[in-house]
Amino acid sequence: MNELNQWLFSQPLYWIMIVISLIIIITYYLYGARIIGWFGELWTKQALNKLPKDKYIIINDLLIKTQDQTHQIDHVVVSIYGIFSIETKQYNGFITGSKYDKNWIRHLGKKKLYYTNPIRQNYGHVKALAELLRIDESCIFNIVCISSNAKLKIKHDGELVTNITIADKIKSYQDILIHNPEEIVATLTQYNITDKNTKKVHIKNIKYIHCGNSSAVIQIKDLPGNMIRPGIMLYGYLPDESLKGKVNLKPSCVLKSKISFIKEVEKDTSISYGRTFITKRKSVIANVPIGYADGIRRSLSNNGYVIVDGMKAPIVGRVCMDSFMIDVTDVPNVKIGDEIFIWDNDKITLDEIAKQCGTINYEILSTISNRVVREIV
């Protein structure tokens, strides 16, 4: 064995292979993401080349400026059937989300990695193209090309394709929307920034680099970049129940209303639309003037409760657009004008409401409409 080692160490080819291996490892460590992204764009470019050249004009790596911002678009396809803004992503693994989410989630066992939603990212490119070309956004299609080895569970409206399906996807659009494709190509070519120094400035002009949401802020001490963007934790709520005990947050808001009407009803009386709730006894029913147009989820119909004078009062019947009903039979001395709490962060929390609705606290907070008066106390 020692003789074999001595022989290996004496061979120049052995050392050359060691050096090459180290160079490859270091290069991948430093520039792996760029290399993978470059290959992804190359494969998409090859797939787009399958489009008939007499009908489709392809522009790769377009960099345009609108007002004070630059936009780098991986591929743009121009035809009489519309303009296609294409964002390429080399993802792998199991990824979940929807077209409306800020981030998509890559699942690695129990770990989760968060990616910027490329559909929303590419929508910014669509708007930039519409502004530059002075055409309606309906003529520009948002397409995101994902590597075929990724397993996606994404709710979308057809924006996602792979290198295998992208050409057929583009050819499926047959309505004539553009009558001057050559002029559009000329405009894009004219405004395409090709100077390398300008492209470097495009990258340097990104003033704020951040990848830290509430969850990252709580869990990671040394985040990269020069800014963080805590979201839900600013309201005093945790992004996930698994983070309880890791940070001391104080909820900043409650959602409340007042009883506007009270009525005693007999047994077997139906309450609200569709007669989905029938009283099982003589009951006292109160009306609360806040409904699904204000952000109260319809999934709370006959499900959950509110707090009246420190006591639980179940929601009965369907939640209406502008109101819902509660059973206050067991709440003594209740009267019109009494405050009720949809959540008070004590006897009922935002997270409890979210569970009752089958969703997350983010969605409950973000869907409280502008009709609800905000008071700072």
Question: Would you kindly state where each structural domain of the chain is located, as residue ranges?
Answer: 37-206, 213-252, 255-366
pLDDT band for position 215 (cuts 50, 70, 90): confident
Q: CB–CB of 47/56 below 8 Å?
A: no
Mark residue 310 as left, alpha or beta (left: phi above 0; alpha: psi -120 to 50; beta: remaining): left
Q: Is the pLDDT of residue 69 over 70?
A: yes
Read off the pLDDT of each residue in 84-94 and give the average, rounded to a whole number: 85
Per-residue pLDDT at 202 exceeds 80: no
pLDDT above 90: percentage of residues in the chain? 51
Helix (H, G, I), strand (E, B) or coil at 202: helix
- Work out the end-to-end distance of the chain between its first and last CA atoms, rounded to an integer number of angstroms: 79
- Which pTM does this prediction carry? 0.48
Predicted confidence at residue 207, as pLDDT, reads 63
Report in angstroms the alpha-carbon separations of 295 from 47, 320, 363.
45, 11, 10
Is pLDDT at 354 greater than 60 in this prediction? Answer: yes
CATH number listed for the domain at residues 255-366 = 2.40.37.10
* DSSP letter for each residue of 48-67: HTTS-TTT-EEEEEEEEEET
The pLDDT of residue 14: 56
pLDDT at 33 over 60: no
Mean pLDDT, residues 144-148: 81
SS3 251: coil
Position 32 scores a pLDDT of 47
Q: 226 and 208 in contact (C-beta within 8 Å)?
A: yes
Q: Is residue 269's pLDDT more than 80? A: yes
